[in-house]
Amino acid sequence: MWAPGDAPGLVLGDGAQIGDGVLVGANVTIHEGTVVGPGCSLGDNAVVGRRPVLSARSTARRDDELEPLRIGAETRISAGAVLSAGTVIGRACVVGDLATVRERCAIGDGVVIGRGVCVENDTAIGAETKIQTNAYITAYCTLEDHVFIAPCVVTTNDNFMGRTERRHALIKGPTIRRGARVGGGAILCPGIEVGEEGFVGAGAVVTKDVPPRTIVVGNPARALREVPPDELLDAQ
Amino acid sequence: MWAPGDAPGLVLGDGAQIGDGVLVGANVTIHEGTVVGPGCSLGDNAVVGRRPVLSARSTARRDDELEPLRIGAETRISAGAVLSAGTVIGRACVVGDLATVRERCAIGDGVVIGRGVCVENDTAIGAETKIQTNAYITAYCTLEDHVFIAPCVVTTNDNFMGRTERRHALIKGPTIRRGARVGGGAILCPGIEVGEEGFVGAGAVVTKDVPPRTIVVGNPARALREVPPDELLDAQ
Amino acid sequence: MWAPGDAPGLVLGDGAQIGDGVLVGANVTIHEGTVVGPGCSLGDNAVVGRRPVLSARSTARRDDELEPLRIGAETRISAGAVLSAGTVIGRACVVGDLATVRERCAIGDGVVIGRGVCVENDTAIGAETKIQTNAYITAYCTLEDHVFIAPCVVTTNDNFMGRTERRHALIKGPTIRRGARVGGGAILCPGIEVGEEGFVGAGAVVTKDVPPRTIVVGNPARALREVPPDELLDAQ
């Protein structure tokens, strides 16, 4: 990687603020006004601070109210990742290869967003939460601190799948409480809550709330037993 | 974004036709002969009109019969998307970040192909159909108009998974009829049909045809009840 | 595509070795020391031989022991793929668009790694194995020869999902024996073995070992019947 002045193919938008010691890969695009904290790295082909695109002939107003993307110190953005304006990413995070984070997200410190993960708009992710490879975090989700999302987890936010007017008021992603863990390929239905330190088994289809410190499995998911005490956060 | 003449890193193939008012991001590659309709936009790192690659030493004939990619007016292609030659994309479509569409597909007007979606070869998608983030549309699929595919849906087309000679004649993706909806992470087995306005619940594994206007859930999927009248297309 | 000397936007690291007849797309990045065998092709935006990134201010030692990436003759790397240093890829392989392969993997000859697939670190994949679109191969997996992984398969390696100290010794991906086939969207739990020529149905959640030549389906997966003789490798 290179200092920004030496990086091949860097496209640097007006007013971007690049902190001390930032390293940049090949063919990186930093959009206008983006704030990249000190000690960050941006992998090859990363696109950061991208604004939503309107059709060239659209009469819609450009969403001028989106703040520039802000990336905290010592955060690593990997190859081919695409991060939107209007979002704040904390310190010492990792965003994996080919991951995307959309607008109006708040990502805490020390968060890991794995390779190929998509975090949709208007989502909040607490500190030290880990979202593993190819998991999908839908719009209007809340993930609290120390959550663990295994690879290829699916979250959803619309029981009506695009029909009825009343759905607009009801669209809501899952809420995943502090320390909860969701297993590989599990599917979370719209609006459900996974309680504190709850545990969803791999491949479970979660159609109702998961009580705190409870393990659920199956399709549809049902309670199996309590989370063992040595797996609770306080025991780590 | 920039007008093509000003776009940094643009690689523009011979004979490409770029309509009026097209906007282009950084490091875009437009392959030879590609037709980009007026008012389109191509996001950073987008690759459009790519032809299949043969090994440099291959004795196979290059597939010269693929027509160039054609993109209709006012369609938006997002960052890092990869679109193949031999396909036609309609007007006013949206192709999300890091999505791919392969050769010999016919994509209608107003279609949304979400972030990270893969549409494989020889697939037809009707007007106003929406395919959400990370869904997978296998080769030889048919999706009619006004279909809704939720995030991370999986479709398949080969019951033999690469074995037997007779499989070649039997490979067939699902057929999804007008107005049908398929829930998050659902899996559709080869060749099944989802009837008009059918509804597949999140996480269902669909092993046989879904009757029109019927809701199915579970693994394997079974009929649960009728789709409520206020969710049918005519009621919108 | 172009010969390396003519390729637009090529970033070629020190000491990279490019074989005869290699073809390169637009905006390709070849990292230092990478060995690209004769007759290979590298699609637009491909990133090959990338090394893990440490924070610019990190006091951790860079992993100098990773060997450069080696790509065998006649292998095709597609658009936007990201391949790490420390890995060896065989001859006549195909790596699809937007796929990633991480460090310390050994990929045999004739392997197909589909579009959007992620192969995590320390994984071995035998000759002629096919991994289809968007499948996820976790770290510390073994796939033997002639394995077939259908689209969107999920593998996992940590039953503790990030908790307890003892988990570190127990992390282990699945072992998939010669000629086994795993159906679309199936989920394999940590450490399970799919026996030789075993068959996992689409959408199955596999929580225990699959005996050789046995078909399993469901959540949790249960044995259904034997694989038909005409589908065994020797009958092809």
Checking if the pLDDT of A65 tops 90, the result is no
Q: Measure B172 CA to nearest chain C CA, in Å.
A: 14
Of the candidates C25, C150, C232, the beta carbon closest to that of B161 is on C150
Tell me the C-alpha distance between A172 and A156, whole Å: 8
Query: Does the pLDDT of residue B68 top 80, yes or no?
Result: yes
Which residues, in sequence order, are bridge partners of residue B187? Answer: B154, B205
Picking from C80, C155, C220, the nearest residue to A80 by CB comes out as C80
The average pLDDT across A147-167 equals 93
- Mean pLDDT over each residue of chain B, to the nearest integer: 94
pLDDT at B173: 95
- The larger pLDDT score, comparing residue B17 to residue C62, is at B17
Smallest CA–CA separation between A169 and chain C, in Å? 32
β-bridge partners, A21: none
DSSP C174-235: -EE-TT-EE-TT-EE-TT-EEPTT-EE-TT-EE-SPBPTTEEEETTTTEEEEEPPGGGSGGG
Summarize pLDDT for A93-139 with one digit per residue, the tens.
Answer: 999 999 999 999 999 999 999 999 999 999 999 999 999 999 999 99
User: How much is the pTM?
Assistant: 0.96
Give the bridge partners for C181, in sequence order.
C148, C199
Question: CA-CA distance, B200 to A165, in Å (whole number)?
Answer: 20
Alpha-carbon distance of B164 to A192, in angstroms, equals 44
pLDDT band at B54 (very low <50, low <70, confident <90, very high): low
pLDDT band at A56 (very low <50, low <70, confident <90, very high): very low
Place of tokens 């002629």: C128
Q: What are the tokens at A190?
A: 């719209």
Predicted local distance difference test score (pLDDT) of residue A113 = 97
Q: Do B154 and C202 touch (CB under 8 A)?
A: yes
CB nearest A154 (choices: B21, B92, B151) = B151
Enumerate the residues of chain C whose CB falls inside 8 A of the CB of residue B187. Answer: 152, 184-185, 202-203
User: Biggest alpha carbon distance in chain A?
Assistant: 59
pLDDT for position B62: 54
The minimum CA-CA distance between C131 and chain B, rounded to whole Å, is: 11
Percent share of chain C, pLDDT over 90? 89
Instruction: Give the pLDDT mean for B104-129.
Output: 97
Q: Is the predicted pLDDT of residue C55 greater than 50, yes or no?
A: no
Test mutation, B11, B22, B29, B44, chain A, max A CBs within 10 A: B44
- Mean pLDDT score, A86-95: 98
Q: Which residues of B touch A156 (CB under 8 A)?
A: 150-151, 183-185, 202
Give how far A181 is from chain C: nearest CA, Å: 7
Asked whether residue A41 carries a pLDDT value surpassing 60, the answer given is yes
CB within 8 Å of C66: residues ≥ 6 apart: C51, C52, C84, C85, C86, C103, C104
**Least CB–CB distance from C53: residue in A41, A203, A235:** A41
**Cα A71 from chain centroid (whole Å):** 13
Hey, are the CB atoms on B74 and A82 less than 8 Å from each other? no
